[in-house]
Amino acid sequence: MTRRTIGMGLALGLGLLTLGAAGACRGGGSATPDGALTVAMMPKNKGNPYFVSCRQGAEEAAQQLGVKLLWDGPTETDPAKQNDVVEAWITRGVQAIAVSVENREAMSTVLRKARGKGIKVVTWDADADPDARDAFVNQATPAGIADVLLGHASRLAGPAGGEIGIITGSLTAANQNSWIAEMRKLLPTKYPNLTIVDIRPSDDDRKKAFDETQTLLRVHPKVKVVMAIASPAVPGAAEAVKQSGRKDVGVTGLGLPNASKPYLLDGVLDSAVLWNTKDLGYLTVQVATALAKGTPIAGTTQFPGGRLGQLEVRGDNIILGTPFTFTKANVGGFDF
């Protein structure tokens, strides 16, 4: 009988101890005074270095604004996880929810529910249905990306201009094609001495990008700039130019810093364009906080983005601004 009581006590004690330990290793928010706004922010995947980098910016903004930031999301492939976490945030009663949406259909339903309860909803990185959120933090517009890429190409080609060869993703990839369309619009007006002579597919494969770049250099020997506009294509194209020994050919492109890093440091790759992930996280918390404080965004033209300055608002999209360029000098500060 006594042993039974001891057993029960032991179980209860251990249970409480366990939960006490849970309280001790707090992971999400930083300590802020009570009464502060709580902003809950969700990546697609907590382990992905891309999102880890976004979180740094988000924490910075939260500290600056004095809001409590909850950062949580899936760690494994469970498509229901994002929904479950948002459901809990709704029950908990946060003032704003910011989500990078993995499953558009499923998330939109639960985000509408959050809005119905008066919680401000922001999407960032990947959007939900427009009626499911108050604003979308748009990391880059096709026109912005096209302009920065052509700027680098123009600098590499020199004052005389010249031929550009593009290594794209697949020939049907919507993102890449929208950037190419924007480049074609810009060329005659802003960069009249540049011409796109060839667009070859890499199918998001590094080896294929390597082969296609070799072909490009043989078919168009006068090409001055190779532009690789899919992340896996950047190292492939850079490797091909490196092996060709053509010092007169410059390489630029759009890609993740870690994939580009060896070639940036090597000097073969001049620049890799993407958005600044820390700024993306920073701006998202700025937007979520502003909405939670009742500042209207849709219908205005500018948003004060803290250290990012005044940013353009288009409809209910807040544009992060000019894409960010990774170079030999700054790539060491990024890890994703």
Partner 1 sequence: MPDAAMPASAPAAPTVSSHGQRRLATPERVLLALLVGELIWFSLAGTNFLTLDNGLEILRASTEVGLLALALTPVILTGGIDLSCGALLGLSAVVFGAIWRDAGQSITVAAAAAIGVGLVGGAINAWMVAGFGRPALIVTLGTASLFRGLAEGLTGGAVNYSGFPAAFLHLGQGRVLGLPTQAWVLIVAVALIAVLVHAATIGRGLRAIGYAPEGARFAGIPVGRRLALVYLLSGGAAGVAGLVYAARLGQARADAGTGFELSAITAVVLGGTSIFGGRGSVWGTILGLVALGVLTNGLRLADQPAELAGVLTGILLVVAIGVGARRGRT
CB nearer partner 1, residue 10 or residue 181: 10
Per CB under 8 A, 64 contacts partner 1:
no
Per CB under 8 A, 35 contacts partner 1:
no
Residue from 66, 79, 221, 333 touching partner 1 (CB under 8 A): that is 79
Task: Characterise 19 by phi-psi region: left (phi > 0), alpha (psi -120 to 50), beta (else).
Answer: alpha
Per CB under 8 A, 12 contacts partner 1:
yes
Exposure class string for 299-318: b at 16+ Cβ within 10 A, else e: eeeebebbebeebbbeebbb
Residue from 48, 66, 78, 330 touching partner 1 (CB under 8 A): that is 78
Shortest gap between Cβ of 22 and partner 1 (angstroms)? 6
CB nearer partner 1, residue 74 or residue 255: 74
Residue from 36, 49, 52, 106 touching partner 1 (CB under 8 A): that is 106
Per CB under 8 A, 15 contacts partner 1:
yes
Per CB under 8 A, 120 contacts partner 1:
no
Binding part of the chain for partner 1, among 15-23, 162-170, 277-285, 305-313 by CB under 8 A, reads: 15-23
CB nearer partner 1, residue 64 or residue 103: 103
Residue from 48, 56, 63, 88 touching partner 1 (CB under 8 A): that is 88
Residue from 56, 63, 66, 92 touching partner 1 (CB under 8 A): that is 92
Shortest gap between Cβ of 243 and partner 1 (angstroms)? 35
Binding part of the chain for partner 1, among 70-78, 174-182, 297-305, 310-318 by CB under 8 A, reads: 70-78
Per CB under 8 A, 72 contacts partner 1:
yes
Instruction: Output the six-digit token pair for 95.
Output: 């003032």
Binding positions for partner 1, rule: CB under 8 A: 3-4, 7-8, 10-12, 14-16, 18-20, 22-23, 25-29, 46, 70-81, 83-85, 87-89, 91-93, 103, 105-106, 108-109
